Chains A and B, each alone.
Chain A
């Protein structure tokens, strides 16, 4: 997948057939992060911020609902993926990239949580087996698409 045109409010990518399949597969995994993962505070004592924690959960639940709606709309929109000889041309607005990044990162973090939140920076290894492979795969694919979108937003050419 590569950026072929950057306009003020819209970006146009060229995406291969297999890449398109992978993108749709990842989007359909959303949401993966468990609701209870989100904590407002590490140090607040029991009861202190209960109401605020509830507000956070409600806000994130509403956002998930909205993101799911947006994914559905993106997948169903005729002409969103315009067929070309090498695959497809995909047009995305900048606000759409923002929620796509949220969705992709949810899948990435959700996969990591499902793997037991391993501290790979401290050298903890992720065992590769039948159970872990799908999560490792979705994390890596989500991360790769995030990088493409971030490079496109910043105008960087992937090196």
Chain B
């Protein structure tokens, strides 16, 4: 489908970097699990299965990525969903954070 040539008028928006509103923090957050030398590998795999509903193989792949590469991006979500997942992972004392997707 061809694009229609309509002049685009954009509102003059000043970005407020310090704002705390969810809208300004969109569009995406990465949920990342970081390596530590103390969480058991089987435990991490189990937590990924429970929190994300993944099959064991996928959970193990991410666990090994955490272990071998220092971190694994588990999912990319909206602020609210990323926050939910981080809460769940931290309930199990995994070292998980959400970071704004810069990509």
Interface residues of A, Cβ cutoff 8 Å to B: 33, 38-45, 47-52, 55-56, 59-60, 63, 98, 101-102, 105-106, 108-109, 112, 117-122, 139, 143, 146-147, 150, 153-154
Distance in angstroms between the alpha carbons of A60 and B87 in the assembled complex: 8
A150 close to B100 (CB less than 8 A) = no
Number of A-B contacts (CB under 8 A): 83
Chain A residue nearest in CB terms to B83: A52
Does B99 reach chain A (CB closer than 8 Å)? Answer: yes
Let me know if B91 is at the binding interface, CB within 8 A: yes
Contacts of A101 in B (CB 8 A): 43, 46, 92
* A44/B46 in contact, CB under 8 A: no
- For A40, the chain B residues whose CB sits under 8 A away are 83, 86, 97-98
Decide if B18 is an interface residue (CB 8 Å cutoff). yes
Contact B91 A60 (CB under 8 A): yes
A56 to B35, CA, bound (A): 21
- Which residues of chain B in 1-44 are interfacial with respect to chain A, using CB atoms and an 8 Å cutoff? 17-18, 20, 25, 35-40, 42-43
Q: Assuming A102-B92, A102-B93, A112-B38, what are 19 further A-B pairs, CB within 8 angstroms?
A: A41-B99, A43-B99, A44-B100, A49-B25, A52-B79, A55-B83, A56-B86, A60-B90, A63-B91, A105-B39, A105-B43, A108-B93, A109-B93, A112-B37, A122-B37, A147-B40, A150-B40, A150-B42, A150-B46
